[in-house]
Structure 1
Amino acid sequence: MRKLTYYIAASLDGFIGHPETGDGAFFAEEFLTGDFPVFMIGEYGDTIPTASRKAVGIEGAPLTRFDTIIQGRKSYQVALDMGITSPYAHLRQYVASRSLTTSPDPDVEIISDGLVEKVRELKAEDGDLGIYLCGGGDLAGTLIEEIDELVIKTYPLLLGSGVPMATAGFALRFYELTSCRTFDNGAVVTTYRTKAR
């Protein structure tokens, strides 16, 4: 069974994006210093968009962690606004969207209905590489029961409001800490796996 990993950047108060635009890059870029980007490229290089992989020296590098990405419509729109229809060409790409009915690229499959079922199908495939969940709080909330691993890059700042990490409704969902690493820029990367109950 393959893992679905929610790999996300967040503020100390648990927000992942601007309250109006949903964009989170405005605060993440501030912390791309010291040993932190080296870690991200080395450990999570598969999550770097294809166009940026060349810039960081890993163009054509073999995949080590993920071979599939599921992203939300808003995350995908960031690439579309830059004229990029296949932002993660090195991965199998799925976009969860009810508003986008046809894909602008043959390498990107739109999932309009049956998202949870599609994720279960992808997780049931054979293979050692996992599935990267890249999206906003609504997408994570929809798939909360399917998420096997959380990798949270926590940046040392408060936003006060914004897009929450997951909008799943109140429930006690327990996770086990499997690793925690601190960096000289103040960022902390914590990894949790879903705790069986």
Structure 2
Amino acid sequence: MRRLTYFIATSVDGFIGAPDGDGDFFYSHLDAEFVGFLAAEYPETISAQGRVQLGIADAAPKRFDAVIMGRRTYEPGLEQGMTSPYGHLPEQYVVSRSLAAPPDPQVRLISGHLAAEVRELKARDGLGIWLCGGADLATQLIDEIDEIIVKTYPVFAGTGMPMSRAGFGARPLELTAVRTFGGGQVVTTYARGR
């Protein structure tokens, strides 16, 4: 059975984007060591355009062969002409009720019952499923998430888009890995407590 992993960037105070959802402020906190780690360990989570720039365009997926993103996560790339931002993955899903048709044949839309469709995806053979963003999807899928990988950047945002809007609930997690980097980034991995 495949696992759903919420692999997300956050500020030290838990925000994945500015109040309008823009996460570009994280890019100023990238350094060679951290980017090298992402390219080596999570090459499939780098957009097709970024993979070309990093010289890893042909890198095979290591952990994920499917990505699920919300329309607002998908839209910035779409506005720049990237209709298939993760075309190197066999499965790309955009959750949207407003898009009538996918802008690219490699992208599939999910507009029905999200949790049920994710359970069907998890039942298929393959690598893991990457929940790319954002807060609304994490809220809707809180009970389906098997693992959370938090890339914490050395910035305090003060306010913005939270990791989830699921409301209070003590959901136990098991710490499975921590990796720190010289630029102040920390990657923390948690498995969902059973």
- TM range, smaller chain: over 0.9
Unaligned stretches of 5+ in structure 2?
Answer: none
Instruction: Give the superposition deviation at 1:155.
Output: 1.2
Q: State how far apart, in whole Å, the 2-side matches of 1:107 and 1:62 are.
A: 17
Q: 1:169-184 alignment to 2 at 5 Å?
A: 169-184=167-182
Is 1:108–2:107 an aligned residue pair?
yes
User: How far apart are the structure 2 equivalents of 1:85 and 1:94?
Assistant: 12
CA distance in 1 between partners of 2:61 and 2:154 (Å):
30
Matched pairs, number:
193
SS at match of 1:35: helix
Equivalent runs, 1:129-140 vs 2, <5 Å: 129-140=127-138
Distance in 2 between residues matched to 1:182 and 1:34, nearest whole Å: 14
1:141 touches 1:167 (CA, 8 Å); kept in 2? Answer: yes
CA RMSD of superposed structures (Å): 0.9
The Cα of 1:113 is off from its aligned counterpart by 1.1
Query: Structure 2 length as normaliser, TM-score?
Result: 0.96
1:191 Cα deviation from its structure 2 partner: 0.3
Q: Is 1:157 paired with 2:152?
A: no
TM-score (structure 1 length as normaliser)? 0.95
Aligned to 2:8: 8
Q: Is the 8 A contact 2:43 2:60 kept in 1?
A: no
One-letter amino acid matched to 1:14: G
Aligned AA (1:189): V
Q: 1:48 aligns with which of 23, 40, 46?
A: 46
Q: For 1:19 and 1:59, locate their aligned partners in 2 and report how far apart those are by CA, in whole Å.
A: 32
1:98 aligns to 2:70 (yes or no): no
Q: Is the 8 A contact 1:71 1:94 kept in 2?
A: yes
Distance 2:172 2:98 in 1: 33
Runs of 4 or more consecutive aligned structure 1 residues displaced over 4 Å after TM superposition: none
The aligned counterpart of 1:190 is 188
Percentage of identical aligned residues: 55
Partner of 1:78: 76
Separation in 1, partners of 2:30, 2:155: 14
Partner of 1:168: 166
Amino acid corresponding to residue 187 of structure 1 in structure 2? Q
- Residues 34 and 184, structure 1, Cα contact 8 Å, conserved in 2: no
**Structure 1 residue 121 and structure 2 residue 125: aligned?**
no
Which whole-Å deviations, capped at 9, do the CAs of 1:65-107 have from their partners, x for residues lacking one?
1110000010110111101111110111100011112111111
Q: Quick one: distance in 1 between partners of 2:32 and 2:104? A: 36
Task: Report the equivalent of 1:64.
Answer: 62
Work out the CA distance in 1 between the residues paired with 2:162 and 2:115: 20
Contact kept in structure 2, 1:101 and 1:112, CA below 8 Å? no
Unaligned residue ranges in structure 1 (runs of 5+) = none
